[in-house]
Amino acid sequence: MKALQYHGRGDIRLNDVPEPEPGPGEVKVAIAAAGICGSDIHEYRGGPIAVPMTDAHPLTGEHAPVTLGHEFAGTVVAVGEGVTDVQVGQRVAASAVVRCGTCPSCAQGLPQLCATLGFHGLSGGGGAFAAFDTFPAYLAHALPDSVSDQVGAMLEPLATGVHAVGRAGIGPGSTALILGGGPIGLMTAVAAQAAGAEQVIVSEPAAGRAKAAERVGATTVLDPRSDDVVAAVRDLTGGRGVDAAFDAAAVATSFDTALGSVRPRGTLVNVAVWEQPTPLNPTALLFTEATITGALAYTDAEFERAVEIAATGAHDLASLVSREISLDDAVTEGFDRLATDPGDDIKVLVRPS
Residue-level pLDDT at 277: 85
Domain containing residue 279: 162-294
Task: Characterize the bridge pairing of strands 199-203 and 347-351.
Answer: unpaired
pLDDT greater than 90 at residue 168: yes
Could you read off the pLDDT of 70-95 as tens digits, one per residue?
A: 999 999 999 999 999 999 999 999 99
**Does residue 179 form part of some domain?**
yes
Nearest to 352, CA basis, from 329, 332, 335: 329
Here the CATH number for the domain that contains residue 126 is 3.90.180.10
Is residue 12 scored above 90 in pLDDT? yes
What are the CA-CA distances from residue 224 to residues 20, 210, 229 (Å)?
46, 11, 6
- Structural domain contains residue 308: no
Report pLDDT for 173. Answer: 97
- For residue 252, what pLDDT band results from cuts at 50, 70 and 90? confident
For residue 279, what pLDDT is reported? 86
Bridge partners (DSSP) listed for residue 31: 74
In a domain, 154, yes or no: no
From CA 334, how far away is CA 12, in angstroms rounded? Answer: 11
* Banded pLDDT at 314 (limits 50, 70, 90): confident
Q: Which of the pair, 39 or 144, is modelled with greater confidence?
A: 144
Same domain for 255 and 172: yes
Tens of pLDDT, residue by residue over 96-127, are 999 999 999 999 999 999 999 999 999 999 99
Question: Is residue 182 located within the same domain as residue 80?
Answer: no
Place 267 in a pLDDT band, splitting at 50, 70 and 90. very high
Give the contacts of 312 (CB within 8 A, at least 6 positions apart).
Answer: none
What average pLDDT does this structure show over 189-199?
Answer: 98
User: What's the whole-model pTM score?
Assistant: 0.95
With respect to residue 300, please indicate whether it lies within any of the assigned structural domains: no
- Distance CA(167)–CA(307), nearest Å, equals 19
Question: Does residue 69 register a pLDDT over 90?
Answer: yes
Percent residues over pLDDT 70 in the chain: 100
Do 183 and 110 lie in a common domain? Answer: no
Same domain, 51 and 106: yes
- Is pLDDT at 191 greater than 90 in this prediction? yes
